[in-house]
Amino acid sequence: MKVLVTGGAGFLGQALCRALVAQGHEVSSFQRSFSPALEAMGVRQVRGDLADAAAVHAAFAGQEAIFHNAAKAGAWGSHASYFNANVVGTRSVLAAMRAHGIGRLVYTSTPSVTHSGRTPVQGGNEANTPYGEHFKAPYPATKLIAEQEVLAANDAALATVALRPRLIWGPGDTQLLPRLVERANAGRLRFIAGGHNRMDTTYIDNAAQAHLDAFAALRPGAACAGKAYFISNGEPRPVRQIVNDMLAAAGVPPVQASVPYPVAYAAGAVLEVVWRILRLGGEPPMTRFLAEQLSTPHWYDISAARRDFGYVPAVSTAEGLRRLAQWWSAR
Tell me the residue type at 269. Answer: A
Burial class for 111, CB neighbours closer than 10 Å (0-12, 13-18, 19+)? buried
Return the closest-CA partner of residue 304 out of 224, 225, 249: 224
Question: From edge to edge, which strands make up the β-sheet containing 227-231?
Answer: 44-47, 26-31, 2-6, 65-68, 104-108, 159-165, 227-231
CB-based contacts of 250: which residues, under 8 Å, 6+ apart? 177, 180, 181, 325, 328
Question: Apex CA 143: angle with CA 57 and CA 206, to 5°?
Answer: 90
Q: How far apart are CA 193 and CA 259, in angstroms?
A: 6
Task: Specify whether the CB–CB gap between 199 and 299 falls below 8 A.
Answer: yes
Q: How far apart are CA 6 and CA 4, in angstroms?
A: 7
Q: How far apart are CA 106 and CA 109, in angstroms?
A: 10
Task: Please list the active-site residues.
Answer: 139
Burial class for 237, CB neighbours closer than 10 Å (0-12, 13-18, 19+)? middle
CB-based contacts of 48: which residues, under 8 Å, 6+ apart? 30, 31, 32, 55, 56, 58, 59
Q: How far apart are CA 202 and CA 214, in angstroms?
A: 16
Q: What are phi and psi of 235, to 5 degrees?
A: -130, 70
